[in-house]
Amino acid sequence: MIDLHTHVLPGIDDGPADLPGSLALLAAAAEEGTVTLAATPHVRPDHPRVIPAELGARVSELAAAAAAAGLDVGLAAGGEVDLLWAQRAADDELRAVSFGQRGHDLLVESPYGPLPERFEDLLFTLSVRGYRILLAHPERNPTFQHDRQRLATLVEHGTLLQVTALSLASTQRRSRSRRLAHDLIKHELAHVIASDAHGGHIPRSGLNAGVEAAARIAPLRAQWMVTDAPAAILAGEPLPSPPSERGGGRRLGRLLRRG
């Protein structure tokens, strides 16, 4: 599996405070079967230690420490980008926080409060600058929860959606985040499942829990969302077509329920 949204770098945002915490997060991910994680610290003014020009070196340092600890897991650079910060960012800064620092795909943070009226226009300005947008955890946003058509329209225009494992795996059936996450899977609007892992101080469901929850709705797409789709994003390539749930998908669903 590939996890495109993690706060694994030590000591720069609200992820692990130190290297042992980062290695513990990596070890837990590897134990689940995750083979690659994108290190996506918050890129916004309230996290001044996140300096785009330093992210590549920080990822390399953590990768070397993980290898020394015997952890067989890959790391890719990136960032969880605040949309207003991105409007003012220089071209080299945006490239430094893009996935793999390729200058092609950006993980953009969905606001936790109501969306500004110009939200779609602000996303469009990034598209004009050559970026494909992966929108992080839209299911948590109150505006999207009440106006799902805005999300559907964004997807129509090429925005990709990342839902969080915790939202999918939640047992709180009245949770608006859970309901929207499940609906995005059901209606084939979501493209990526990620953990948004921060380390032990901020509990999160592991990636497996989210995939298992999504597999009860669309088993083949659930696997595609943590394999083929994120691999294409890391490579800066078009997403491959998702698998059809007809026939094989129903059979796999029955097997999962029996298992």
Structural domain of residue 203, as residue ranges? 2-258
Q: Which helix (H) or strand (E) holds 135?
A: strand 132-136
Predicted structure pTM score: 0.92
pLDDT higher at 116 or 228: 228
Condensed to tens digits (0 to 9), the pLDDT of residues 220-231 reads 999 999 999 999
Q: Which helix (H) or strand (E) holds 154?
A: helix 148-156
pLDDT at res. 251: 39
Backbone angles phi, psi at 136, to 5 degrees: -80, 135
- Confidence band for 200, pLDDT divided at 50, 70 and 90: confident
CB 195 within 8 A of CB 2: no
Condensed to tens digits (0 to 9), the pLDDT of residues 131-158 reads 999 999 999 999 999 999 999 999 999 9
pLDDT at res. 203: 62
Condensed to tens digits (0 to 9), the pLDDT of residues 19-47 reads 999 999 999 999 999 999 999 999 999 99
pLDDT at res. 202: 66
Overall domain count for the chain:
1
Supply 248's token pair: 């094989």
Return all residues near 59 (Cβ < 8 A) that are at least 6 apart. 9, 39, 75, 76, 77
Give SS3 for 121. Answer: helix
pLDDT at res. 7: 97
Return the CATH number at 101. 3.20.20.140
- Confidence band for 258, pLDDT divided at 50, 70 and 90: very low
Round to whole Å and give the CA distance between 38 and 55.
11
Beta strands in 49-122 (DSSP E): 74-77, 80-81, 105-109
Quick check: 257 pLDDT over 50? no
Q: How far is CA 184 from CA 12, 62, 176, 193, 221, in A?
A: 32, 34, 12, 11, 12
